[in-house]
Amino acid sequence: MSLHTVSVLVQDRPGVLARVAGLFARRGFNIHSLAVGNTEDDGTSRMTIVVEIKTKPLEQVTKQLNKLVNVLKVAELEQGTAVERELALIKVKATNGDRPRVIEVAQIFRARILDVAHDALTIEITGTSEKVEAFHELLRPFGVIEMVRTGRVALARGEDGLKDRRLRAVKAETA
C-alpha cells in the first residue's frame, strides 16, 4: 500500500464531488486527503485526491472515473513529477514563557503568525505534507489547541497541464 495522488478535472455541476468520492468509497478505499477548487477555465474544477491503495485497483477506479459524464480528465501525479503543497492553520498555546520559542519555531519553518491572543498563537504554514507534519510535531509539546489542513494540492512539473495529452493519464490494465 502506498499513497497515490490523482488529479481529476471536472465540470462544475451539483453532485460531481459526491459521485467521485463515492467511487472510492464503493471500492473500500479511504481518501487520505481531498482538495477541490476552481481552475483557470470557468465552469471547471480540479480535484486533487490522495488515496492509499495498491496500483491495480487504482487503475480500475480511474477507468470508472473516466466514465462519469462530468469528468473531463483523470491523471495520476507521480511523486517527483509534480509540485505538491499543503496549507495548515495551527492554534497553539503560547504563554509568556513559551511564546518566544513558538515564534522561533515558526520562523525556522517560514510560517506566518496570523493571530495573537493572550495565551495562544494561530500560525499558517505551507509546504509539503512532510514539512507540515514536522512543524506540527514540534508544536505538539507546547499544546496544539486545534488544527486544520487543506490536504495536498498538486500540479505536474513543466509546461504541460492536465488537459495536455503529454501528461501521463492512468490507464486501465487489459485482461
102-114 tens-digit pLDDT: 999 999 999 999 9
- For residue 160, tell me if it sits in a domain: no
CA contacts within 13 A on the Cβ side of 154: 26
How many domains in the chain? 2
Query: Do 72 and 124 belong to one domain?
Result: no
The CA distance from 70 to 167, in Å, is 20
- For residue 134, tell me if it sits in a domain: yes
**Helix H or strand E segment including 103:** helix 99-108
As given in the structure block, the three cell numbers for residue 128 are 509539503
Which range of 13-17, 26-30, 87-91 scores highest in mean pLDDT? It is: 87-91
Mean pLDDT, rounded, for 59-83: 88
**Host domain of residue 29:** 2-80
